[in-house]
Structure 1
Amino acid sequence: MAREASALQVRPLVAADAEACARLFDTDVNRFLTSRVNLEVYGYQNGALPSWGAFDEGRLEGVLFRYANMVVVVDRDGRTAASFASIIDGQEGLLGARGSLETIYGLRAALRRYRVVGLEVSPFMRLDSPPQCEESLLRLARRATIADLDKLADLYAGAGNMYRSRPNVMSKLSSGRVFVVEEQMGQPSATRIVSCALLNVESQHVGLIGGVYTRPESRGHGYAAACTAALALDLQKDGKLPCLFYENPVAGRLYRRLGFREVSMWGLLYLEDTQEASGRK
């Protein structure tokens, strides 16, 4: 799709667009579920989550969000990709783009400043019934507190591409639901956190699970399943819908065993800024 062929108007979303957003989101509840959650939690014109809309003669066709070094772009059929690519190319410091699969494929062809260095399919899943697991598995996990900050920061410091900074971990512990599994280390009183699941964002009705990570040497014991199931059940007790994305097929099998079902296909682009790369030469 060439940019020149696009007649869409792209502009920042404002509170007056709430009705247009609701109409778009109602066309496919699952595809636009995280978009609805983001606007519910962050609102419009929020510096922490800038947002744009692509309009066709006043009708909203798709939405774009930026959070830290990622953008999220969602529409019904991929037609907004070229228009949103112009906005994305004007942003600095991006490392990735997540979005509805057709839109991600369109972005891959339309981006100019950013070079795509990888693409993964990222299914979106939701859990509409209690987690399918034994009570003994749930008992492996507990809810973390701010007292776990040092141990949890140490876990994510070695998590590779799932790294989280200490301030991010503190924020999650202070304001969100975080579930962990511990293992003993030598002395009975010495433990370390070996697995975790937390929330990327939580609204009045939905919790988006993320950060599911287990230390490599502690895998194979069901710890990730325990953390995810305990977190999902905690959300459900408050009448909220657990949902998540995954890229790793092993993780996908784990979530399906717990009862999650795929409801929308997304993609994840890994990006390199060609302007920054040129400046380093």
Structure 2
Amino acid sequence: MIRTLTQADHEQVISFLTKEPSMNLFIIGDIEAFGYDQDFQQLWGEFDESGALQAVFLRFYDSYIPYASSRFDVEGFSHIIRTNGASFRLSGKANVVEQFEQVGGLSLGKKRVTYFCECTTVSFQAEEQMQIVKQATVDDVDRILDLRRRIPEFVTTPSSRDMLLKSLETSTGRTYYVEEDGEMVSCVSTTAENSFSAMVVGVCTDERYRQKGYASLIMKRVIHDYMQAGKTLCLFYDNPNAGRIYKRLGFYDIGMWTMYG
């Protein structure tokens, strides 16, 4: 049976999701930040005959994330997507979300498969140079966006500023950076921060300041701060070269993450 989840289900939901807290950091983060009673966010659960939770399905605006530890009612969750509108994005743990490919009449869009990895310990010596890494505040939002706009690989949207500002204001994300002559030249951000973990995003360095080790230096500061807080860091990658860099800093693969749309 699939039904809408409410605050009354919270303890059971969190117990279920924390079986794999890193894989579920987006769902956990959205629940902690916004709860169960929002227009832009809905949660459904699939229960067996004894009332045990079998699967959770999140809608955040037009994005959906399913999670299940075993078989689940993929047709039932697909019906929810159709009911809520034609335009959607779907993502999740690969062996869960890829089951939607078998559903007829569901246009998933372009598929992208990435490695999902996490870091749980500091595996390097602290460096004196880490002191040059600063943590951004809401006053730095426009500087962060200016840096990202200077980098061809990055795409900023009209909502980028609001999303970045909201993450800093609600402590659901952080940004760390290095500057030269008062100009921000490299930064690393996190998002979806919750009680257990956070996702690394937005690793970038101005082309004029590359090959100086700034991104790795910032990553070390990020890892240090999150490990001090007792939280796991997660990230996606699909570039083997990037993967090798992250693994030298203590990240290791825990699975695959698939995105559609």
SS in 1 for 2:192: strand
Q: Which deviates further from its counterpart, 254-263 or 170-179?
A: 170-179
| Pick aligned residue for 2:168 from 162, 168, 173 | 173
Displacement of 1:179: 0.5
* Paired position in structure 2 for 1:20: 12
Matches of 1:199 and 1:41 in 2, distance apart?
15
SS in 2 for 1:252: helix
Check conservation: 2:54, 2:70, Cα contact below 8 A. no
- Using structure 2 for the length normalisation, give the TM-score: 0.81
Does residue 71 in structure 1 map to residue 55 in structure 2?
no
* Paired position in structure 1 for 2:237: 246
Check conservation: 1:181, 1:223, Cα contact below 8 A. yes
- Using structure 1 for the length normalisation, give the TM-score: 0.76
Q: Which runs of 5+ in 2 are unaligned?
A: none
Does residue 154 in structure 1 map to residue 151 in structure 2?
no
Structure 1 residues 82-115: Cα deviation after superposition (integer angstroms, max 9, x where no partner): 3222222333475532211112211223263434
Q: 1:48 to 1:236 in 2, by over 3 A?
A: farther
Moved segments of 4+, more than 6 Å: none
Matches of 1:215 and 1:94 in 2, distance apart?
34
Matches of 1:161 and 1:95 in 2, distance apart?
22
| One-letter amino acid matched to 1:18 | H
Matches of 1:161 and 1:258 in 2, distance apart?
23
Structure 1 residues 2-50: Cα deviation after superposition (integer angstroms, max 9, x where no partner): xxxxxxx332211222243245335445544553443333322333432
Q: Which deviates further from its counterpart, 93-102 or 23-32?
A: 23-32
SS in 1 for 2:84: coil
Displacement of 1:59: 2.6
Q: 1:204 to 1:104 in 2, by over 3 A?
A: closer
Does residue 233 in structure 1 map to residue 224 in structure 2?
yes
| One-letter amino acid matched to 2:191 | N
* Paired position in structure 2 for 1:143: 135
Q: How many residues align?
A: 255
Check conservation: 2:178, 2:186, Cα contact below 8 A. yes
Aligned-residue CA RMSD (Å): 2.9
| One-letter amino acid matched to 1:44 | Y
Q: Which deviates further from its counterpart, 216-225 or 252-261?
A: 216-225
Matches of 1:120 and 1:17 in 2, distance apart?
32
Structure 1 residues 125-155: Cα deviation after superposition (integer angstroms, max 9, x where no partner): 2222125365156345211123322211223
Check conservation: 2:148, 2:154, Cα contact below 8 A. no
Q: 1:127 to 1:115 in 2, by over 3 A?
A: closer
* Paired position in structure 2 for 1:91: 84
Displacement of 1:252: 2.3
Check conservation: 1:74, 1:103, Cα contact below 8 A. yes
Q: 1:208 to 1:112 in 2, by over 3 A?
A: same
Alignment of 1:167-246 (within 5 A): 167-176=162-171, 177-184=174-181, 190-191=182-183, 193-216=184-207, 218-246=209-237
SS in 2 for 1:138: helix
Matches of 1:111 and 1:139 in 2, distance apart?
55
SS in 2 for 1:243: strand
Matches of 2:2 and 2:163 in 1, distance apart?
31
Q: 1:240 to 1:118 in 2, by over 3 A?
A: closer
Check conservation: 1:75, 1:100, Cα contact below 8 A. no
Structure 1 residues 190-239: Cα deviation after superposition (integer angstroms, max 9, x where no partner): 52x23322221222343333233334554443333223321222222233
| One-letter amino acid matched to 1:166 | R
Alignment of 1:41-120 (within 5 A): 41-57=33-49, 58-77=51-70, 79-92=72-85, 94=87, 96-110=89-103, 112-120=105-113
* Paired position in structure 2 for 1:267: 258
| One-letter amino acid matched to 2:92 | G
Displacement of 1:241: 2.7
Displacement of 1:258: 0.8
| % same residue | 26
